[in-house]
Amino acid sequence: MDWIAVGLKEDVPPGFVIPSRIADTELAVWCSPSGTYHAWSDRCPHRGMRLSHGFVRGETLACIYHGWQYNEAGSCHYIPAHPKLTPPDTICVPTYRCIEAGGVIWVSLTETDTPLPALGGRRTVRSLPVSMSAPDLAAHFGAAGFTTIAVVSDHDVLLAVQPCTDGECMIHALAAPDADRSAVSHWLEDLRATLERVPA
Amino acid sequence: MNAAIDNHWYPVAMISGIDAPRETLLLGKKISLGRDGGACWVKDATGTELPTVERFGHLWTSPGQPNRDLFTIPEADSPGRRLVDVGSVKVKCSPLRAVENFLDIAHFPFVHTDILGAEPHTEVDRYDVKIREEVDEVWATKVKFYQPQAAKSAAGGITTEYMYRVPAPTCSVLYKTCPPRPGEWDIITLFVQPLTDEWCEVWPWMALYDDDSTMSEMVSFQQLIFMQDRSILENQLPRKLPLDPGMEVPTQADMTSVAYRRWLKKIGYTYGAQLVAA
């Protein structure tokens, strides 16, 4: 699978964690205090709690349920109930490739040699949920795929599309560096209204 | 019908809250309940009366034929205790997840921060856990934990001692150090009504020594604690409780949970359980 946009850098500052997803794969996306982005399976292996409800402490993500801390490789390195214990290597969270580039947080669920999508110097504007599947959205614009869709418009908009469920996707929008962000935002809302009126 | 599941007693209402007849769910099936004069009744969807017990301020019923009486808590009868109907909270999780969370102390510093626990007091010492075969109950004893505000009646931080008892698959009784009366146990219970296998109604009930707090203060304290628990319970994946090892990783602090899961498997209680690793 290609790189997929799962969020915007400005929405996940250092020290924050958010829930995200790529289709059926639920993700905890977090940024360490030093600015490195991570996308992990959204489930603590201890009791199944969502890690996206957790907290960033130092260069670790901790589960909110029992405070188990996972280092940047996804390995559990501290269990507060047993402070003197070195947790076995087997306690770890599945991690995915995650890179921030051009203000977009990109994730690939599989190892990939595919280069990150070119953004043509555009800047991020906002994210917007749309009640339409990602492939249908690509088809609407006659695009080959949905990773990024360039739209002929006043603002030179580029849509990075994140598949969520069968009938939902998230659009992460970028536009020309000098575009009026507010105008682009209104344009996106109009686009959504149009898309959601298209019969399935 | 599954006798291992149906032949248990289940809480379905707070007796003081029963006025007009109403419907609810038990194990995924519609039942109705109400009161005629002094006595409460429960009927299944066909109108057939189900057995009832009125105990601990709650109405209990069973869709099967329980082969023993509803458990008792003799300590709760001692004079001077205040009996607290806490009310109910509906939670979108397996009834078994709700009980297991109640048996867990390691989450106190993170979920009930500065009330039932606080960093850096996170360590859980070894305690004793046993399936008491003669009564078919799970017991954990000598559980100790530092608590900043162990109860509404606590004046400051204390090391609290706990005993946990699981007398029925969806019920647990906690015996806990009583801050105003060292040497006595406060009793806090969690009675869980399985609405479905992924949705439950939780009825906490307490028998406390506390001469100072008002009833509503004691209720509010316990409700605050349970609302904090709910934010966890509705965000565990899967919603059902995995009984087979492999899907979740226990440590020594989780010995009660390990025994509870083992006991459920032994008695064949699979409602709300996930048996095969997904």
- Residue B270: which CATH number? 3.90.380.10
| Interface contact B117, partner A, CB < 8 A | no
Confidence of residue B276 (pLDDT cuts 50, 70, 90): confident
Q: Indicate the residue among B16, B38, B70 that finishes a domain.
A: B70
Q: What is the pLDDT of residue B180?
A: 87
B164 token code pair:
């946990």
Of A42, A64, A81, the CB nearest to B122: A81
**Residues in contact with A4: Cβ distance below 8 Å, sequence separation at least 6, in sequence order:** A22, A106, A107, A108, A109, A147, A160, A162, A163
Could you report the per-residue pLDDT of B230-243, keeping only the tens digit for each?
Answer: 999 999 999 999 99
Distance from CA of B246 to the nearest CA of A (A): 10
Of B123, B232, B242, the CB nearest to A81: B123
Q: What is the percent of chain B where pLDDT is above 90? A: 90
Give the whole-angstrom CA distance, residue B33 versus residue B55.
16
Q: How many helices and strands, by DSSP H and E, does chain A display?
A: 2, 14
Of B236, B242, B253, the CB nearest to A81: B253
Q: B106 to chain A: which residues are within 8 Å by CB?
A: 66, 80-81
- Is B83 strand, coil or helix? strand
Could you report the per-residue pLDDT of A150-194, keeping only the tens digit for each?
Answer: 998 889 999 999 999 999 999 999 999 999 999 999 999 999 999
Q: Looking at the structure, tell me whether residues B118 and B52 fall in a common domain.
A: no
CB contact under 8 A, B250 and A46: yes
Q: What is the pLDDT of residue B171?
A: 98
Of B110, B232, B252, the CB nearest to A67: B110
Q: Looking at the structure, tell me whether residues B23 and B96 fall in a common domain.
A: no
Whether the pLDDT of residue A18 is over 60: the answer is: yes
Strands (E), chain A: 4-8, 17-22, 25-31, 37-41, 55-57, 60-62, 69-70, 76-78, 95-101, 104-108, 123-130, 149-150, 158-165, 168-175
CB contact under 8 A, A49 and B232: yes
Q: A64 to chain B: which residues are within 8 Å by CB?
A: 110-111, 232
Superfamily of A4-108 according to CATH? Rieske [2Fe-2S] iron-sulphur domain (2.102.10.10)
Give the whole-angstrom CA distance, residue B57 versus residue A173.
57
How long, in residues, is chain B? Answer: 278
Cβ-contact A46, A66 below 8 angstroms? yes
Q: Looking at the structure, tell me whether residues B173 and B93 fall in a common domain.
A: yes
Q: Looking at the structure, tell me whether residues B131 and B117 fall in a common domain.
A: yes
Q: Looking at the structure, tell me whether residues B127 and B23 fall in a common domain.
A: no
B171 token code pair:
């019920």
Q: Looking at the structure, tell me whether residues B215 and B91 fall in a common domain.
A: yes
Question: Mind spelling out the 3-state secondary structure of B103-129?
Answer: CCCCCHHHHCECCCECCCCCCCCCCEE
Whether the pLDDT of residue A143 is over 80: the answer is: yes
Distance from CA of A36 to the nearest CA of B (A): 25
Residue B60's nearest CA partner among B38, B88, B37, B40 is B40
Residue A69's nearest CA partner among A92, A102, A38, A96 is A92
Amino acid identity, residue B201? E
Give the whole-angstrom CA distance, residue B243 versus residue B217.
37
Q: Indicate the residue among B70, B97, B118 that finishes a domain.
A: B70
List the beta bridge partners of residue B160: B145
Distance from CA of B117 to the nearest CA of A (A): 11
Q: What is the pLDDT of residue A200?
A: 52
The tally of domains found in chain B comes to 2
Give the whole-angstrom CA distance, residue B79 versus residue B50.
33
Q: Looking at the structure, tell me whether residues B101 and B218 fall in a common domain.
A: yes
Task: Output the domain CATH number for residue B23.
Answer: 2.20.25.680
Could you report the per-residue pLDDT of A97-119, keeping only the tens digit for each?
Answer: 999 999 999 999 999 999 999 99
Residue B17 lies in domain: 1-70
Could you report the per-residue pLDDT of B109-133, keeping only the tens digit for each?
Answer: 999 999 999 999 999 999 999 999 9
Could you report the per-residue pLDDT of B136-186, keeping only the tens digit for each?
Answer: 999 999 999 999 988 888 888 889 999 999 999 999 999 999 988 988 999
Q: What is the pLDDT of residue A1?
A: 58
Q: Looking at the structure, tell me whether residues B101 and B116 fall in a common domain.
A: yes
Could you report the per-residue pLDDT of B38-75, keeping only the tens digit for each?
Answer: 899 999 999 999 999 999 999 999 999 998 999 999 99
Q: Looking at the structure, tell me whether residues B85 and B5 fall in a common domain.
A: no
A25 token code pair:
């794969």
| Interface contact A91, partner B, CB < 8 A | yes
Chain A interface disruption, residue of B241, B251, B258, most A CBs within 10 A: B251
Could you report the per-residue pLDDT of A39-70, keeping only the tens digit for each?
Answer: 999 999 999 999 999 999 999 999 999 999 99
Of A45, A50, A82, the CB nearest to B248: A45
CB contact under 8 A, B111 and A79: no
Domain definitions of chain A by residue range: 4-108, 123-197
CB contact under 8 A, A50 and B237: yes
Whether the pLDDT of residue B259 is over 60: the answer is: yes
Could you report the per-residue pLDDT of A86-100, keeping only the tens digit for each?
Answer: 999 999 999 999 999
Question: What ipTM was predicted for this assembly?
Answer: 0.95
CB contact under 8 A, A91 and B249: yes
In CATH terms, A123-197 corresponds, of 3.30.750, 3.90.1530, 3.30.70, 3.40.50, to 3.30.70
Q: What is the pLDDT of residue A198?
A: 65
Q: Looking at the structure, tell me whether residues B177 and B148 fall in a common domain.
A: yes
Q: What is the pLDDT of residue B268?
A: 96
How long, in residues, is chain A? Answer: 200
Give the CA distances from residue A80 to residues A26, A40, A100, in Å, rounded to whole numbers and listed in that order.
Answer: 26, 21, 31
CB contact under 8 A, A47 and B248: yes
A77 token code pair:
């390195």
Give the whole-angstrom CA distance, residue B85 versus residue B66.
25
Q: A82 to chain B: which residues are within 8 Å by CB?
A: 123-124, 251-253
| Chain B residue at shortest CA distance from A65 | B107
| Interface contact A119, partner B, CB < 8 A | no
Q: Looking at the structure, tell me whether residues B202 and B268 fall in a common domain.
A: yes
